[in-house]
Structure 1
Amino acid sequence: MPSLHDSWEIGGVHVPNRVLLAPLAGIGNWFVRLQAKRYGAGMAVSEMVSSFGIHHGNEKTCTEMLRVHPDEHRGGPVALQLFGQDPDVMRSAAATVAERGLVDIIDLNMGCPVPKVTKTGAGAAMLKDPDTAVAVASAAREGSGLPVTVKLRSGDRKGDTSGVALAHRLVEEAGVAAITFHPRSAQVHHKGTPDYDLAAELVRSLPAPVILTGGLHDVASVTAAYERTGAAGVMLARGSLGNPWLFSQVLGLRDDEPTREEILEELDWVMECAVQHMGAERGGRYLRKFYPWYVTRLGEGNVLQQALQRTDTVEQARSILAPLRARVAVA
């Protein structure tokens, strides 16, 4: 069985190792992807982007959400995740992405269980409409000329394994280069234990690489699931939020946990990037979702959490964090 360090290919695209960053909706922008790359991720996938937004030229979609930092390509490829249920719109969006030359791979979201996505027929709703799913994947491939991967769940409801059958159709009929498989149903979202035995069954039967995601929160869980399923690679998601060191730990590049000083330095880097990405005020509000991940890792309590949640700008947050930085510096 290959080591997680070993290189491999997705549709002819070289990937330097088998530890990847998952697409994180509303989170996986350029600096989150770059952060994962800084700590060893072999590939990073963007947050999901609307194919309709690209097709219709939505300004935020086509500028902010399609932004790729030049350094992202160092150490491995970048993938853009698209979602949408219309094959013609997907073909157009994929063509636009390819023309810009920003990414190496297009990933399709056919696993998101959030109602605002599924009610349009996109995301996990594709599990119940496999013909459309195949048509959408074919259109993305035709429009872009890039390798196309698809992120799937095991099924729509508990006990449903329709994702396995759809994975086969996507590879055999649409020419999909790899499948990222989350072996939980859309019904349970992130609850319950992933069905790694089902993932192993897909790995054995699918004539394409299977990337495993779901329930991979630490080195032990990643290693156990990788060995149990025989997957081609692993994709870290929620377990890496505020913890980019997990990529280095899984790859054996470090054994210890980050120090409080390292955590604060990393948070400072994230804050600087948010200002660069959105400006001080909008970036400050956006960062409210990030602060809890780092504050929890620092071992701080609710007082600091609540204070940061009340901030409107990055400078306000820096002022609140200043006493903690001072204490850590002299510790």
Structure 2
Amino acid sequence: MMRSLTDSWELGGVHVPNRVMLAPLAGIGNWFVRLQAKRYGAGMAVSEMVSSFGIHHGNEKTCTEMLRIHPEERRVGTDGSGGVTSLQLFGQDPDVMRSAAASVARVGGVDIIDLNMGCPVPKVMKTGAGAAMLKDPDTAVAVATAAREGSGLPVTVKLRSGERKGDRSGLDLAHRLVAEAGVAAITFHPRSAQVHHKGVPDYDLARELVETLPAPVILTGGLQDVASIRSAFEYTGAEAVMLARGCLGNPWLFAQVLGLREEPPTRAEVLDELDWVMDRAVEHLGPDRGGRYLRKFYPWYVTTLGEGTALQQALQQTSTVEEARAVLAPLRDAAAAAA
């Protein structure tokens, strides 16, 4: 049966309006990044990775900033149905995960809980969380079961192919998570934790998982442009695709993949979008923290603008949004004159 990325589908009983999603971007995927993806067509957006221990112990930053679900997130979507929100948790303790998942469900506005069992960062793995769970499948199954029972929400799990090159433990764990923990879907990144984001993803392995797993597989990894995204979706037979680094500074990628537009953004559009991001960062963190936080965002938009190191360096030296807007003013004037 032919499928299209624009087709709606059901994930654990949740209606998802299309098959293009925003991946959980650690340290990035806050409410306004998710909202941005949905504005450009993403059918579902996953939050940045949130510590189950932080929620369980009531850490103020975790509970007030990272668990924030903005009302506008519920009012966007290409078909008017609103975008689906998934909140990603990590942690290796089933009891703590049960508590955290219950707290997330009480917050409201979260449709799905995603569990990170693929993060390759050493400080996460050394706690036994992230990709370290590939080596401890019994605990992984217990954690996923606890999240599902604690929240009452559908649970998905993001996995790597294995810990090291040639390791296929991710496939084995995927089957156990579905069969024993009742996981609703697996998000599969067909690279090992060892290589992080380097090298070509093993889409043959992803296709094998799709063909053998009795649950939806969401594909992520290496999906940088329209052609590669559509090709990987068709080749693997995945239920959906999840965009990560390719959409940073380029949310138009969602619209292009969905066939809502073909042309790249104009310079004026990029500058307008960056202005929107700057406003949202201030709304999220206040003028001082927001101004500093935006330094991680500027490089992506500078690249999309086609500018070089001079603009990059100038923006990195700013500490407030006002200073950054002053740096960008000549580009905005030039874009307006060319319009």
The TM tier, using the shorter chain, reads over 0.9
- Structure 2 counterparts to residues 145-160 of structure 1, below 5 A: 145-160=152-167
Distance 1:17 1:63 in 2: 30
Corresponding position of 2:57: 56
Q: Once the 2 structures are TM-superposed, how far is the Cα of residue 182 of structure 1 from its aligned partner?
A: 0.1
Distance 1:116 1:329 in 2: 46
Alignment RMSD: 0.6
Distance 1:250 1:323 in 2: 32
Corresponding position of 2:88: 81
The one of 322, 328, 331 aligned to 1:321 = 328
Q: Once the 2 structures are TM-superposed, how far is the Cα of residue 100 of structure 1 from its aligned partner?
A: 1.7
Distance 1:303 1:193 in 2: 32
Moved over 3 A (4+): none
Q: Which amino acid aligns with 1:114?
A: V
Q: Once the 2 structures are TM-superposed, how far is the Cα of residue 72 of structure 1 from its aligned partner?
A: 1.0
Q: Once the 2 structures are TM-superposed, how far is the Cα of residue 71 of structure 1 from its aligned partner?
A: 1.6
> Is 1:223 equivalent to 2:224 in the alignment?
no
- Structure 2 counterparts to residues 101-116 of structure 1, below 5 A: 101-116=108-123
Listed as ranges, the gaps of 5+ residues in structure 1 are none
Question: TM-score under structure 2 normalisation?
Answer: 0.97
The one of 264, 268, 274 aligned to 2:275 = 268
Listed as ranges, the gaps of 5+ residues in structure 2 are 78-82
Corresponding position of 2:258: 251
- Structure 2 counterparts to residues 74-223 of structure 1, below 5 A: 74=75, 75=77, 76-223=83-230
Q: Which amino acid aligns with 2:43?
A: G
Distance 1:329 1:100 in 2: 43
Q: Once the 2 structures are TM-superposed, how far is the Cα of residue 120 of structure 1 from its aligned partner?
A: 0.4
SS of 2:232's partner is: helix
Residues 74 and 109, structure 2, Cα contact 8 Å, conserved in 1: no
Corresponding position of 1:17: 18
Q: Once the 2 structures are TM-superposed, how far is the Cα of residue 77 of structure 1 from its aligned partner?
A: 1.1
SS of 1:217's partner is: coil
Corresponding position of 2:80: none
- Give aligned pairs, total: 331
> Is 1:303 equivalent to 2:304 in the alignment?
no
SS of 1:149's partner is: strand
Corresponding position of 1:68: 69
Distance 1:155 1:236 in 2: 21
Residues 219 and 233, structure 2, Cα contact 8 Å, conserved in 1: yes
Distance 1:12 1:174 in 2: 16
Q: Once the 2 structures are TM-superposed, how far is the Cα of residue 203 of structure 1 from its aligned partner?
A: 0.2
Corresponding position of 2:285: 278
* C-alpha distance after superposition, 1:17-62 (max 9, x if no partner): 0000000000000000000000000000000000000000000000
Percentage of identical aligned residues: 82
